Structure 1
Amino acid sequence: MKDFKAIRLSYKNTPLEVRGKLSLSQDDCETLLSNFQKDSRINELLFVSTCNRTEAYYIAEEDLSDDLISQISTLKEVDTQESNQYFESLCQPKDVQNHLFRVAMGLESQVVGDIQISNQVKRAYQWTADYNMAGPYLHRLMHTIFNANKRVQIETEFRDGAASVSYAAVEMIDEITTDINDPKILVVGLGEIGTDAVRNLQNTEISDVTIMNRTFSVAEELATETGYKTRPFEELWTAAKEADVIISSLPIADYFHKENVADLDILAFKCFLDLSVPRSVAVDVETIPGVLVYTVDDINARATKALERRLNSIPQVETIIEASLTEFNKRTQEMEFSPIIKGLKNTLEEIREKEIEKYSSDLSNKEKKQVDKITKNLLNKIMKVPVLQLKATASANKKEGQKMGKIITDLFDLNINS
């Protein structure tokens, strides 16, 4: 598909503050899809937006990068000149295909192999389908991506284990609380890593989560986004007493220490995951009976092992992508000639039926059936020669295939829209 294009910005070239301003919610994507439904220049359109990227993939004869960037900027109330500094245009279809595959697989994620991006791409495709902005090309491409994703999941270690500190911390919580009915989780401190941990908790079955921050408005905003509870920082020790697991990313050394943690009257079990550097949970807390403490080094070691496995799997993932794209483009090319093949078959079938009709009155029912069977088999064998030749020529040289297609169309005066 020569007209497949894209615009993109990501964490690789865009500051977090700008990414935040240009990030698209579901409502934003639906508004843009609705707007572009009225634009006759654009045939198919997909928006993919996360905290780390904002991208649009589209099919149009001309480069519509400026229009897309302008509409996104207007919607997000960002100066277009600022947006233009960060958005890049991709106009080579193979580059666009490959990039979308790599994004959907997690090869372009900050956390290599991030499973969330696959789900986000699926949701983006659903919105596009809902607004009838996915045509034959995007439908086929997206399903090819989803099938490749299944292969990556089954055939490689690319998605095994948690490959970031916040992911690994949540994975550990899942394991630690396996035998606890409805575990209570308290997250204290909402810097970047604490916020990531809260968002990653949404991918678990854990529902009883309380988030706290010294700036209460920050906790309230994240609570609104995630649906979790929040409490004022002044209630920290009450919340800590009730919690089974405390995730701390407070930027205060030894904030939790033996004296104040011992006052929590721990009867059986309490776990601290300390994501702070320097430690916000003092070493002496580990001596309190019933208390488990995991530091950022413990969690990092776990994440590093998972990351190594994922990085080692990248060549396998890229091989799967290459094979999937080769098959997709082969089928796409064949579909380009399917109207010609269908037109040729219809024309020959029409000739066959007319000839049989001339002699049908002289034939018995048994003879009619035999003639019908023989002529159908003959037609199929005649069809096979030009069809195979057309596909082989197009596979070797697309332009030569297009020439041959035109010759067949003109020679048989085909109505290829029928």
Structure 2
Amino acid sequence: MRNYHISKHNSFYAIGLSYKKADAEVRGKFSLDVPAIDHILGKAKEIGIDGLLAISTCNRTELYGFAQHPYQLIKLLCDQTNGTVEEFQEVAYVYKNHDAISHMFKVGTGLDSQILGDFEIISQIKQGFYRSKKLEMANPFLERLCNAVIQASKRIKNETELSSGATSVAFASVKYILDNVDDISNKNILLFGTGKIGRNTCENLVKHSDNSHITLINRTREKAEDIAGKFQLTVKDYGDLQTEIRKADILVVATGAQLPTVSKALIYTKKPLLVLDLSVPKNVSDDVKELDNVTLVHLDQLSQITDETLSKRKEYVPKAEAIIERVKKDFLKWLETRKFAPVINALKDKLNTMKTEEIDFQTKKIEGFDQIQAEIISDRIIQKITKQFANHLKSNEVDTEDSLELIQKVFQLELHSK
């Protein structure tokens, strides 16, 4: 059986950057779409990296995987994006082994999100794992870890109110509109892009603004029609974008493209226009700011909104952390067992060989030797001996690596890898 564990020779790393140190522009340089993620996984496989998971959202880009050195993962990321190693190192973090495991738990449960308790990230981890599995880059360690993080996330959702109240990027944008625009119910709102954030924004707008003048535009019209139908909203063609911007008082851009989809050239409006860009990389060009009557607000500014909902959420952080600790403890227990299982199995094989040789010898030597009883007693003793060793290895006071080495040396064990 092959080992996937944290060992002296191949460590588990989490490398990445997030909104904490990297602004939207830098995050944009390192953002990954699905083909780029697949390319990274393919390259990792070629260089012998065993197990890799990639996630990229508007707030972070991260790789989790086994490597000799974290630089292998950093290089994979930088080679596949527009960012340089130097830029990455300025804003990056690198976690190793147990710290990397803890980091994934924190990220996956919304404790590290730009808006506390924003659970969008867990679906990214699920998708990331699905891609790794598809490209045979998901080893049992990663599978077990992702499942543990998903389990912790579910429990936190069900057992705490960490994600209570409508707080997310979508809600933050709607809150900004409500706080900064008078007479909202009579304003024309145009939503460009109907991906996940666009959908959520639309839902929040309908719920909180009491506004029926909302128009949707998406490159593929069907997607916009699906959402519009749900809320009785207007849908226009992608070709009408310029005309619709001219009519709009508020433009929300959530297109999720790799390059800007809205620039100064598209905007010919005489009245004030508020533009919210909810995309990373930025989907609205900075040249829009040159227009006197246009106000441009990006996701990073929106995410600084703190309201009662957020301060209420903070109360549930200790409870969420306690759930993470319990789930993580089970995962680490499994990991420890997996780490020494090959040695215990090899020890069992060795003792069984000794038993067989001894019983054969005694059968020939002693007349009427009861082989069945001897087998029963020997098996029970072997069971007790291996259990003693397993308990010793599980103990917190023990250096597992040294003990494993000693057991292998004393019993001259050969570990078979299949």
TM-score in terms of structure 2 length:
0.66
Which residue is equivalent to 2:319? 316
Q: Out of 128, 132, 142, which is 1:128 matched to?
A: 132
State the Cα deviation string for residues 138-182 of structure 1 (Å, max 9, x = none).
2222222122122212211112231147338999xxxxxxxxxxx
Aligned residue identity for 1:52:
N
- Contact kept in structure 1, 2:215 and 2:236, CA below 8 Å: yes
When residues 70 and 383 of structure 1 are mapped into structure 2, their CA distance, relative to the original with a 3 A threshold, is closer
For residues 63 and 197 of structure 1, the distance between their equivalents in structure 2, rounded to whole angstroms, comes to 32
Report deviation, 1:10: 1.5
Q: How does 1:62-211 map to 2 (within 5 A)?
A: 62-64=69-71, 67-76=72-81, 78-80=82-84, 83-84=87-88, 86-164=90-168, 166-167=170-171, 188-190=189-191, 198-200=198-200
- 1:58 counterpart SS class: strand
Which residue is equivalent to 1:379? 382
Q: How does 1:197-346 map to 2 (within 5 A)?
A: 198-200=198-200, 212=215, 219-220=217-218, 229-231=235-237, 232=240, 304-346=307-349
- Contact kept in structure 2, 1:32 and 1:71, CA below 8 Å: yes
For residues 378 and 199 of structure 1, the distance between their equivalents in structure 2, rounded to whole angstroms, comes to 64
Aligned residue identity for 1:375:
S
For residues 165 and 415 of structure 1, the distance between their equivalents in structure 2, rounded to whole angstroms, comes to 55
Report deviation, 1:79: 5.0
- Contact kept in structure 2, 1:163 and 1:304, CA below 8 Å: no
For residues 10 and 222 of structure 1, the distance between their equivalents in structure 2, rounded to whole angstroms, comes to 30
When residues 409 and 227 of structure 1 are mapped into structure 2, their CA distance, relative to the original with a 3 A threshold, is farther
Name whichever of 356-365 and 315-324 sits farther off.
356-365
Aligned residue identity for 1:318:
E
For residues 325 and 416 of structure 1, the distance between their equivalents in structure 2, rounded to whole angstroms, comes to 28
For residues 326 and 386 of structure 1, the distance between their equivalents in structure 2, rounded to whole angstroms, comes to 21
For residues 15 and 394 of structure 2, the distance between their equivalents in structure 1, rounded to whole angstroms, comes to 33
For residues 152 and 127 of structure 1, the distance between their equivalents in structure 2, rounded to whole angstroms, comes to 25
Which residue is equivalent to 2:58? 51
For residues 197 and 91 of structure 1, the distance between their equivalents in structure 2, rounded to whole angstroms, comes to 29
Report deviation, 1:85: 5.6
Q: Unpaired segments of 5 or more residues in structure 1? A: 172-185, 214-218, 241-245, 256-299
- Contact kept in structure 2, 1:170 and 1:200, CA below 8 Å: no
For residues 356 and 124 of structure 2, the distance between their equivalents in structure 1, rounded to whole angstroms, comes to 52
Task: Pick the structure with greater CA Rg.
Answer: 1
When residues 5 and 124 of structure 1 are mapped into structure 2, their CA distance, relative to the original with a 3 A threshold, is same
Aligned residue pairs, count:
337
When residues 221 and 73 of structure 1 are mapped into structure 2, their CA distance, relative to the original with a 3 A threshold, is farther
State the Cα deviation string for residues 363-399 of structure 1 (Å, max 9, x = none).
999x55444323322321233333323332xx2132x
When residues 412 and 126 of structure 1 are mapped into structure 2, their CA distance, relative to the original with a 3 A threshold, is same
Bigger relative contact order (CA 8 A; separation at least 6):
2
For residues 85 and 192 of structure 2, the distance between their equivalents in structure 1, rounded to whole angstroms, comes to 30
Cα root mean square deviation, aligned: 4.4
For residues 416 and 68 of structure 1, the distance between their equivalents in structure 2, rounded to whole angstroms, comes to 29
When residues 410 and 85 of structure 1 are mapped into structure 2, their CA distance, relative to the original with a 3 A threshold, is closer
- Contact kept in structure 1, 2:218 and 2:224, CA below 8 Å: no
When residues 99 and 382 of structure 1 are mapped into structure 2, their CA distance, relative to the original with a 3 A threshold, is closer
When residues 306 and 144 of structure 1 are mapped into structure 2, their CA distance, relative to the original with a 3 A threshold, is same
For residues 368 and 225 of structure 2, the distance between their equivalents in structure 1, rounded to whole angstroms, comes to 77
- Contact kept in structure 2, 1:190 and 1:212, CA below 8 Å: yes
- Contact kept in structure 1, 2:161 and 2:313, CA below 8 Å: yes
Aligned residue identity for 1:416:
L
Aligned residue identity for 1:391:
K
- Contact kept in structure 1, 2:27 and 2:59, CA below 8 Å: yes
What is the percentage of aligned positions where both structures have the same residue?
29
Name whichever of 45-54 and 322-331 sits farther off.
322-331
Which residue is equivalent to 2:209? none
- Contact kept in structure 2, 1:162 and 1:307, CA below 8 Å: no
When residues 224 and 28 of structure 1 are mapped into structure 2, their CA distance, relative to the original with a 3 A threshold, is farther
Which residue is equivalent to 1:60? 67
- Contact kept in structure 1, 2:250 and 2:273, CA below 8 Å: no
Aligned residue identity for 1:21:
K
- 2:315 counterpart SS class: helix
Name whichever of 128-137 and 354-363 sits farther off.
354-363
Q: Out of 13, 16, 26, which is 1:8 matched to?
A: 16
Which residue is equivalent to 1:415? 414
When residues 161 and 20 of structure 1 are mapped into structure 2, their CA distance, relative to the original with a 3 A threshold, is same
For residues 35 and 233 of structure 1, the distance between their equivalents in structure 2, rounded to whole angstroms, comes to 39
- Would you say 1:356 and 2:359 are equivalent positions? yes
When residues 56 and 210 of structure 1 are mapped into structure 2, their CA distance, relative to the original with a 3 A threshold, is farther
